[in-house]
Structure formats: structure tokens, C-alpha cells
């Protein structure tokens, strides 16, 4: 895994050329869009006036102009997004590891998402993109952005709620875990303090037995469920727990992990899309790329941590 | 009439309370035994690897014969059937230290480091050490849980009656905590 300094160098030397070209394209598109917005905005005045004279005509013209507006906007920014993905993101992925392959339109399958048992609720809508797969050392990995939602019907209509939105990462191991272990963000301990929090967590038998870990900072932030007390501690060594804790403190994102059969699932949630290039703000921003890189680093770092201890998982 | 119902309810509640407390204590006591059992199984895996290790290295490691002898003796002691749990733990801590010493000394034998057989053994031993470490932590967690139940209200009321005593967690004694001194190894 490369360091941030190496990333910065790559960013400044290799990536900057493409970024500048795309940035030019972006400013052109931004200007075009502003023009379209102004023209169509003004154009809507006519249908509004007409609405008071001949309502039907007003409505039809209004809808027509809105459709035209959307059509023009999409046409203007077409190609920009896919250009960004194929040039910039593709190259970042290759920089991280030459063996990784990038498929902008693909995603982790819903079957695998459910197999992680991190989010037991079946989603009514399941989307994702920016799929990557390959090998880190001896371990096969794959990940993508995922957005899963459920809906509720009320008299106001259908409402959509997010179950999970963020980076979903899977790594294959060569041997099977004896049982399931899960690490989830700790809500109860935060709300109710240790004694009651622990009691409530113990009640949640659905997820298996509560396993109390010996790193107090980790325990405050996460709750561990599993069926085998020893195997859970075998996986969650003091150094792995530290790594996860540090990441959570720095990124302030919710992290979910599970270890089932022969796979490790890591889900890191956040509210925005990782790779959607913005139109109205500059592309030349190292922080955007750094943030993505750090999320990837956690996921790959976990794999490396479990590899480097020369475990043969006997 | 209502009076009788209230009394009956109170008695029922009281019985339920006693049952829950006693069962909690028993559950935690058994969890400690359970985990010690698992740890024992992992320690046994380690005993099984040792003879193989000794034969692999003793032709190479001419200077460590004393250390190898120690390991063999510790293993024999650990396998004997009439030692207490605490002695077992003590012997195994010593074994961990001695095995660590061998692994450090191996750095000086490039032939040995290239030997396939030895490398496999080393990987297997590492694996077992990790599992033993995990088991030790699990045991400490179970014992802490059990000790808490014995000493905290309201389960402490029953702990005395059931004759349950505090157990000790695994500690590594100060002497063993010190890092292995490689020069000492060579002077053996």
C-alpha cells in the first residue's frame, strides 16, 4: 500500500495533466449550464403568464420547457462524467495496485451484500457503481459503492430510506472461519453508558453472543458479536483493533465488518458519492482523492494485517 | 382476595429473581471452564509440534542444545497428568519464552532458514502461538466477567452461598515480560 506522500507525488506529476484538461472541460460545461439555467428560467415566464390566460396551454408549454431544460443540461455534461471516471479514477486504481481492474458501471451483487449479514433488511432498491477487483498479495478483493434503500408507504406517498450508502468491500480468504464474527458501530454504549449499554447489547441474541473486547477505546466505538469467543479474538488482535479505531476517529465514518465462511466484508458508510465529479466546484482538489485513498487503505490494510501475521489459518 | 394475588405475585417475582441470579452465576462459571478447555486443546497442539521441531533443528543448532533440552523437559512436565491448572499455565508461559528464543537463534543458521521442513514448522508454530494468545485473552475476559458477577450486587449474595470464589486472570510475570537477551542464549 503506497503512502500519502507517494499519492501526492503521483497526483502532482502524473494525474495533474489529465486533471487540468478535464478542469478546462468542466469550466466550459459549468458556463454552458449557467447559461441554460438562465435562459430556461426566463423562458418559463411565458408559460406562467399563459397559465393565467389559457391554463392548459400554459401547462403544456411549461412542461415542454422543463423537459428541454433537462435535456440540454444532460447533453452538456455528457461525456464529462465518464471521461472523469475512465481517465482519473482508472489511473488512481492502477496506481494503488497495477493488478486491479476497474468497471465503472458494475457493483457488488445483492447476493453478496446480503451474505455479509451486516444489513439484514432486504432492500427495495439496490444500486451501485465504480466496481474494482483484483489481488492484493495472495488475497482476492473486490469492492464498489453501494446504495441500498427500503421504502415505506404512507398517505403522503412512498418514502425512501437509506439502509446503507458507501464503500462495500469483500476479501476472499483461503480457509474458512469456524464461525461468524461481526463488528458494528456501537450505538447503545454511546447513548446509555457502559452498564446498561452492555446489557442491551447482550440482549440482541439475533446476532450471536456479545463478545467484550479488551481494548477500551475500541469497545466504546464498536460492538462485537460472534459465536466463538476465541476465534473473534484471534481475528481482532490488539493491533487490528487499534487500526480500526484510529480510522474511525480520523474519518468519523461508520464502519461495519463481518467475517463469515471464507470472506471478510467491510462496509464504510458516508453520505456523498465518492466518484461523482462536481461541475460547480474545482476538480483540482487533492483532498477528494486523498479521502478515497484513505478509505481504500483501511480496507486493504485490514487484509494486509491479517496476511502479514503469516497465518496459515489452520 | 387481592391480597392473596399480591402475595403470590411477590413470591413468584422473588423466585424468578433467585433463579436468574443463580443461573447467571452458573453460566459464567461454566464459560470459564469452557474456554480453559479450548485453550488446553490449543496448548496440546503446541506440544505435538515440539518433537518435530527438536529433531529438525538439533542437527543444525549446535549451540542451543541446552535450550532444546529445556523445551523437551517443559513439554514432558506439561503432559503429566497430575499438575494443577496454575502450574500448567506457568509451564506454558515458560515454553512460550523458550520457543521464542529458538526462533530468534535461527537467524544465525541460514541453512536452517532455507529448509522447507523447518519453514513449515515455523509457520505452524506461529499459527498456534496466535491462537493461544487469542485463547488467553478470551479466558481473561471470561474470568473478569465471572469475577464481576461474584462481586457485584445482586449476584454476590448467592455467590457466597454457592461457594464460588474469585479466579485469577493470566498474567505474565515480570521476568518473562523482559525481552529475550540473545547474548545469553549463546552463553548457555
Domains located in chain B, CATH noted: 2-186 (1.20.1440.20)
Which own/partner pairs from A187-191 qualify as long-range (CB within 8 Å, at least 24 positions apart)? Answer: A188/A223, A189/A219, A189/A220, A189/A223, A190/A220
Distance CA B65, CA B68 (A): 5
pLDDT tens across A33-82, in order?
Answer: 888 888 888 888 888 888 888 888 888 888 888 888 888 888 877 778 77
Q: Are A275 and A292 in contact (CB under 8 A)?
A: yes
pLDDT band at A114 (very low <50, low <70, confident <90, very high): very high
Is residue B172 scored above 60 in pLDDT? no
Give A-chain residues touching B36 at CB under 8 angstroms: none
Q: Are A281 and A180 in contact (CB under 8 A)?
A: no
- Provide the pLDDT for residue A195: 61
Distance CA A128, CA A61 (A): 36
Q: Mean pLDDT throughout B158-165? A: 84
Is residue A109 scored above 90 in pLDDT? yes
Mean pLDDT lowest among A205-209, B127-131, B138-142: A205-209
Give B-chain residues touching A214 at CB under 8 angstroms: 137, 140-141
Q: Would you call A310 and B126 a contact, using CB atoms and an 8 Å cutoff?
A: yes
Considering only CB atoms, A230 lies closest to which of B38, B124, B126, namely: B38
pLDDT band at A275 (very low <50, low <70, confident <90, very high): low
Q: Mean pLDDT throughout B105-110? A: 82
- Provide the pLDDT for residue A147: 93
Nearest to A208 by CA among A268, A120, A279, A295: A120
Considering only CB atoms, B134 lies closest to which of A230, A310, A313, namely: A230
DSSP-assigned states of every residue in A204-236:
-GGG-EEE--S-HHHHHHEEEEES-HHHHHHHS
Q: What is the mean pLDDT of chain A?
A: 82
**Helix locations, chain A, DSSP H:** 4-10, 16-43, 45-53, 55-77, 80-84, 90-96, 110-115, 188-203, 216-221, 229-235, 238-251, 286-308
What is each CA distance from A229 to A92, A204, B114, B136, B137, in whole angstroms?
39, 16, 36, 11, 9
Q: Would you call B127 and A231 a contact, using CB atoms and an 8 Å cutoff?
A: no
- Provide the pLDDT for residue B181: 43
Q: Mean pLDDT throughout B29-39? A: 90
Give A-chain residues touching B142 at CB under 8 angstroms: 229
Q: Would you call A234 and B38 a contact, using CB atoms and an 8 Å cutoff?
A: no
Q: How far is the alpha carbon of B30 from chain A, nearest alpha carbon, in Å?
A: 14
CA atoms within 13 A on the CB side of A265: 25
Q: How far is the alpha carbon of A233 from chain B, nearest alpha carbon, in Å?
A: 5
Mean pLDDT lowest among A9-13, A310-314, B37-41, B103-107: A310-314
Q: How far apart are the first and last CA of chain B?
A: 86
Is residue A20 scored above 60 in pLDDT? yes
Is residue B182 scored above 60 in pLDDT? no
Q: Would you call B142 and A231 a contact, using CB atoms and an 8 Å cutoff?
A: no
Express as a percent the part of chain A with pLDDT over 90. Answer: 19
Is residue B158 scored above 70 in pLDDT? yes
Q: Give the number of beta-carbon pairs within 8 Å between A and B.
A: 46
Q: Which helix (H) or strand (E) holds A131?
A: strand A125-136
Chain A residues at the B interface, defined by Cβ less than 8 Å, are 211-214, 229-234, 237, 309-314
Q: Would you call A314 and B127 a contact, using CB atoms and an 8 Å cutoff?
A: yes
Considering only CB atoms, A310 lies closest to which of B123, B135, B138, namely: B123
pLDDT band at B129 (very low <50, low <70, confident <90, very high): confident
Considering only CB atoms, B141 lies closest to which of A212, A309, A314, namely: A212
What pairs with residue A152 in β-bridges?
A159
pLDDT band at A193 (very low <50, low <70, confident <90, very high): low
Q: How far is the alpha carbon of A306 from chain B, nearest alpha carbon, in Å?
A: 11
Three-class SS of residue A152? strand
Considering only CB atoms, A233 lies closest to which of B31, B126, B134, namely: B134
For chain A, give every domain's residue range.
4-80, 99-308
Is residue B61 scored above 60 in pLDDT? yes
Nearest CA in chain A to B34: A229
Q: Would you call A231 and B134 a contact, using CB atoms and an 8 Å cutoff?
A: yes
Nearest to A219 by CA among A234, A197, A235, A204: A197
Q: Would you call A212 and B137 a contact, using CB atoms and an 8 Å cutoff?
A: no
- Provide the pLDDT for residue A83: 80
Instruction: State the best of A178, A199, A229 to mutate against chain B, taking most chain B CBs within 10 Å.
Output: A229
Q: Would you call B35 and A230 a contact, using CB atoms and an 8 Å cutoff?
A: yes
Q: Are A10 and A95 in contact (CB under 8 A)?
A: yes
CA atoms within 13 A on the CB side of B39: 24
Q: Mean pLDDT throughout A265-284? A: 77
**φ/ψ (deg, to 5) at A215:** -110, 110
Is residue A126 scored above 70 in pLDDT? yes
Chain B residues at the A interface, defined by Cβ less than 8 Å, are 31, 35, 38-39, 123-124, 126-127, 130-131, 133-135, 137-138, 140-142, 145
pTM of the model: 0.75
Is residue A115 scored above 90 in pLDDT? yes
Q: Mean pLDDT throughout B96-103? A: 84
Amino acid at each position: 500500500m503506497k503512502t500519502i506522500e507517494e499519492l501526492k507525488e503521483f497526483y502532482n506529476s502524473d494525474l495533474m495533466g489529465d486533471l487540468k484538461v478535464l478542469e478546462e472541460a468542466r469550466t466550459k460545461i459549468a458556463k454552458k449550464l449557467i447559461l441554460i439555467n438562465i435562459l430556461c428560467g426566463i423562458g418559463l415566464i411565458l408559460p406562467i403568464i399563459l397559465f393565467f390566460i389559457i391554463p392548459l396551454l400554459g401547462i403544456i408549454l411549461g412542461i415542454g420547457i422543463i423537459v428541454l431544460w433537462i435535456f440540454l443540461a444532460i447533453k452538456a455534461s455528457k461525456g464529462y462524467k465518464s471521461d472523469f471516471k475512465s481517465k482519473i479514477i482508472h489511473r488512481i486504481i492502477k496506481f494503488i495496485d497495477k493488478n486491479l481492474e476497474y468497471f465503472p458501471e458494475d457493483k457488488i451483487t445483492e447476493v453478496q451484500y446480503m451474505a455479509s449479514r451486516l444489513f439484514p433488511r432486504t432492500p427495495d432498491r439496490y444500486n451501485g457503481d465504480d466496481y474494482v477487483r483484483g489481488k492484493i498479495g495472495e488475497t482476492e478483493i473486490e469492492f464498489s459503492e453501494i446504495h441500498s434503500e427500503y421504502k415505506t408507504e404512507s398517505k403522503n406517498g412512498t418514502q425512501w430510506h437509506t439502509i446503507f450508502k458507501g464503500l462495500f468491500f469483500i476479501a476472499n480468504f483461503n480457509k474458512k472461519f469456524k464461525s461468524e464474527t461481526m463488528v458494528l458501530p456501537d450505538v447503545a454504549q454511546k447513548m446509555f453508558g457502559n452498564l446498561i449499554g452492555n446489557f442491551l447489547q447482550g440482549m440482541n441474541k439475533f446476532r450471536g453472543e456479545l463478545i467484550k473486547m479488551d481494548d477500551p477505546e475500541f469497545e466504546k466505538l464498536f460492538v462485537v458479536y460472534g459465536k466463538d469467543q476465541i476465534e473473534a479474538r484471534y481475528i481482532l488482535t490488539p493491533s487490528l483493533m487499534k487500526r480500526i479505531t484510529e480510522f474511525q476517529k480520523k474519518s468519523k465514518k461508520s464502519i461495519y465488518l463481518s467475517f463469515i465462511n471464507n470472506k471478510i466484508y467491510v462496509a464504510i458508510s458516508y453520505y456523498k458519492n465518492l466518484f461523482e465529479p462536481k461541475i460547480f466546484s474545482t476538480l483540482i482538489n487533492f483532498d477528494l482523492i486523498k479521502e478515497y485513498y484513505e478509505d481504500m487503505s483501511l480496507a486493504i490494510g485490514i487484509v494486509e494485517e491479517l496476511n502479514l501475521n503469516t497465518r496459515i489459518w489452520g | 382476595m387481592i391480597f392473596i394475588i399480591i402475595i403470590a405475585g411477590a413470591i413468584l417475582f422473588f423466585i424468578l429473581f433467585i433463579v436468574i441470579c443463580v443461573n447467571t452465576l452458573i453460566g459464567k462459571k461454566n464459560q470459564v471452564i469452557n474456554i480453559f478447555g479450548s485453550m488446553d486443546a490449543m496448548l496440546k497442539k503446541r506440544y505435538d509440534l515440539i518433537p518435530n521441531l527438536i529433531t529438525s533443528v538439533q542437527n543444525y543448532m549446535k549451540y542451543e542444545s541446552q535450550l532444546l533440552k529445556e523445551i523437551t523437559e517443559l513439554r514432558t512436565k506439561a503432559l503429566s497428568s497430575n499438575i494443577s491448572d496454575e502450574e500448567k499455565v506457568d509451564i506454558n508461559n515458560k515454553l512460550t519464552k523458550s520457543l521464542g528464543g529458538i526462533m530468534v537463534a535461527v537467524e544465525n543458521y541460514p541453512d536452517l532458514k532455507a529448509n522447507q521442513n523447518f519453514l513449515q514448522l515455523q509457520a505452524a508454530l506461529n499459527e498456534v502461538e496466535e491462537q493461544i494468545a487469542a485463547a488467553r485473552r478470551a479466558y481473561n475476559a471470561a474470568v473478569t466477567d465471572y469475577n464481576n458477577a461474584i462481586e457485584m450486587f445482586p449476584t454476590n449474595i448467592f455467590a457466597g452461598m454457592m461457594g464460588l470464589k474469585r479466579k485469577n486472570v493470566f498474567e505474565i510475570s515480570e521476568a518473562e515480560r523482559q525481552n529475550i537477551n540473545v547474548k545469553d542464549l549463546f552463553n548457555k
